[in-house]
Amino acid sequence: MEFKESKRTIIEFLSLLLKLASLMPLNEKELKSHGKLNLYRSILLLCHLVVQKISENLHGEISKNLKLIVMKSVACELAITCFQQIGNHYWILDNCKKIAEEMLDSIIIICGSHDVVDLLCGRNSAHLQNEIENSHLFPNGLLAQILEHMKVFMAKYKLPDCPVAVHVLVSAVTNVKHPYLGKHISMVLPPLLVLIDDYRVENRVSGIQTLSNLIENTNATELCWYGRADIIYDALCHRIHTNEPQIMRVLQPCLLNIIKVLEPTFKKVSPDLKMNRCEESFQIILTAMEYESKILMRRAYCSNLASFVNHMGINVVRHFRRLLRVVFGYLEIGDGETEEWRMVMLDVLKCVIVNAWPRIPVHADDMLKCLTKLIIDVSMSSIAPMKVKKVMFEKIKECLVMLLCVCGEVVRSQLECMTTGLGFNEAEKLISDALDAFKTNSQVEVCDNL
pLDDT of residue 268: 60
pLDDT band for position 245 (50/70/90)? very high
pLDDT of residue 47: 87
pLDDT of residue 442: 46
Say if residue 211 is exposed, middle or buried (CB neighbours under 10 Å; 0-12, 13-18, 19+): buried
Measured CA to CA, the distance from residue 19 to residue 23 in angstroms comes to: 9
Say if residue 157 is exposed, middle or buried (CB neighbours under 10 Å; 0-12, 13-18, 19+): middle
Taking all residues of the chain, what is their mean pLDDT, rounded to a whole number?
85
b/e code 52-77 from CB counts within 10 Å (16+ = b):
bebbeeeeeeeeeebbebbbebbbbb
% of residues, the chain, pLDDT over 70: 88
Classify residue 339 as left (phi > 0), alpha (psi -120 to 50) or beta. left
Q: Are 259 and 280 in contact (CB under 8 A)?
A: no
Summarize the confidence of residues 333-356 as an average pLDDT: 91
For residue 114, which phi and psi values (nearest 5 degrees)?
-100, -35
Give per-residue pLDDT as tens, 27-66.
888 888 777 777 888 888 888 888 887 777 655 555 667 7
What predicted TM-score, i.e. pTM, was given to this entire model? 0.87
Return the half-sphere exposure (C-beta side, CA atoms, 13 A cut-off) of residue 269. Answer: 10
For residue 140, which phi and psi values (nearest 5 degrees)?
-100, 5
The candidate with the shortest Cα–Cα distance to 418, out of 409, 427, 406, 410, is 427
Classify residue 112 as left (phi > 0), alpha (psi -120 to 50) or beta. left
The DSSP secondary-structure symbol of 358 reads G
Summarize the confidence of residues 170-194 as an average pLDDT: 91
Peptide bond into 179 cis (omega under 30): yes
Radius of gyration of the chain (CA): 28
Give per-residue pLDDT as tens, 253-274.
999 999 999 987 665 666 666 7
Q: Are 28 and 162 in contact (CB under 8 A)?
A: no
Measured CA to CA, the distance from residue 280 to residue 261 in angstroms comes to: 16
Q: What is the biggest distance separating any 2 CA atoms in the chain, rounded to whole angstroms?
A: 99
Q: What end-to-end distance do the CA atoms of the chain give, in Å?
A: 78
Measured CA to CA, the distance from residue 102 to residue 56 in angstroms comes to: 13
Pick the CATH number of 263-268+275-449 from 3.30.310, 1.25.10, 3.40.190, 2.40.170: 1.25.10
Return the half-sphere exposure (C-beta side, CA atoms, 13 A cut-off) of residue 400. Answer: 33
Q: How many CB atoms lie within 10 A of CB 195?
A: 23
Helices (H), 175-267: 185-196, 201-216, 220-224, 228-237, 245-262
